[in-house]
Structure 1
Amino acid sequence: MGGAPRPRPARRGHDRGGRGAGSRIHARALVKRFGTHAALRGVDLDVERGELFALIGPDGAGKTTFFRLVAGVIRPTSGTVERTTAVPFGLVPQRFSLYEDLTVDENLALRARLYSVPEAQARERATDLLARVGLSRFGSRLGGALSGGMKQKLALVAALLTRPDLLLLDEPTTGVDPVSRREFWLVLNELHHQGLTIVVSTPYMDEAEYATRIGFLDGGRLLAVGSREEVVGTYDRALVEVLSSDRPAVRARLSRLVSVDDISLFGARLHVRGAEGAPAARLLEEVRSALSGVVGDEAVRPIAPSLEDVFVLAGEEEAT
């Protein structure tokens, strides 16, 4: 992918690889406390030049705290975090931070002046970037009159005006409609393939599919790091999928099985996780037997884990 380095294997706990010459972000034993609350608890992570790195986790996992530390907005309680960039980095915060009483064009002109981008260059870059994100027709619209997706696209354009070599995006698509989410990620992928290093946080598992590497953050701890395939490869449980319209009845029957550790809802399907050490063949046989007369054998099948399956298990293991 666009000259991106080979990802390190997925690791439980921390990314403990040594710092590479191309590291854009280098964090070691990173801790941040707010009073008695530990927002980050010993995070080790390297983000390499040219990566599209996705930091995934639920609300309160510590994602925004990590971004604020990388950006230098706050200082760590202990540990270190270094950012290596030749030019100012770009930042798209979770909340719209541009001026709602200025137009799109006025916001970008102001940003260019603040960062000493020559006026002619700023106009040329703004024209190109607005075209990329589909905002060319909205130059005279006030920032406050933009939709949520359009606001995030404008924030992205503003962050790119300085031609950064590192782009940080903190949950840029939260609350954005599905079409705008997809369009936003298409732009990020294009930027990544042009060589820009991108670090983006998201609570959406499907967005992680776009990333070169993924980090699972929960409770302030980095639980796994690697490519999608490597992270999924850490999953060591048998997994069975059940398709049924009577999911409460299915759940009630399966919850009695000793070989079943967890039952999660995925749309119209249930993912049935085997207990630690339970063989896949035995789990499949016992689930089919327990559901005899409720669903046919064809509605019960073994499956490979999704990222969400991996994340749920990692979070549970961390909590115990």
Structure 2
Amino acid sequence: MKQTSFYPGPSTIHPSIPSLVKDAYDTGILSVNHRSSDFMELSFAAKSQLRSQLNVPDEYDVIFISSATEAWEILPQSLTSKTSQHFFNGAFGLKWAYTTENLGVEVIKSPFDANESLPTDQINSLADWLCVTACETSNGTMVDQNVLQELFSRRLPHQLIAVDATSALGGVILNFQLADYWFASCQKCLGLPAGLGLLIVSPAAIERGLLLGERSHYNSFLKLVENARKEQTHYTPNVLNIYLLWRTLASGPSIEVTDRRLRDRMARLNSIIQSNGALDWLVSDAYLRSPTVITLKISDPMELKERALTQKMILGNGYGEWKENTVRIANFPAMGDIQFQIFMEWISNL
């Protein structure tokens, strides 16, 4: 029996990946130059599917990058004149803030508790960018789109919003109009092998890039945009993952269907957890929980993980300050409903 990985990224990949890899090899696309017409057609097809399946606005540019971590660097080096404000309640939001700070940008840190909503009333007028982590993978929290709407409404005219959507993009409905700089890696909700990132930017973000005019890095934002608008890339890209992105999106359901499916699985799991004395939610308020990364408190995480392994299930470690008392479970779309049902039945019998 094959092991099932519930690790929250890299995680279980889309079940069609093996046959699609062979298809990619057979077509010859893996050997084409990334300035060629064949690659440009693939780039256009993949971006078109992304727009269609995830409701990305036509006026937003889609750019292929190496990872979400690269997007952490592009924002301060190319799009920030002086200051950014980072709202965070976990390890990855904090790492983003530190990365920005290390690149010479003044960072206003606005931490909040995992069991509290993002404080939209704490916007600092000095910030050029307001930075938000949509789903904090370290603790299983999510900033609801209504909260993002409130942040959008409260921001000052000169302020733009950046969203790390790494554990959200492809799993939940996102209103892209509420932010200017969205980014994610593809090894989580999009169900691909690691090695591809997506950057989705508004016309306002591009205007900011033109205003600052930064071009001193290989991945300077303006170079990315110019290449993307030609359906090319600023560096030799992960052609295989772009091909897999196109094919899996083309055969997959709409984001509305996926969102409902993940939330339904989350609701069924919640019923089990409420009747199980051995486990509890790290995030007590259901409104603040991510539908894609489940984080559960338990006295002995290692013992639970070892028991799961006997059932051919790999659970994720706790992370950061919650490493010693939690496990994390991916509720990503590539995980089949039957696999998730087996996991829930096992949990219910603990």
TM-score (norm 1): 0.32
**TM (normalized to structure 2)?**
0.30
Higher RCO (C-alpha 8 Å, min separation 6) = 2
> Of Structure 1 and Structure 2, which has the larger fraction of its residues in helix?
2
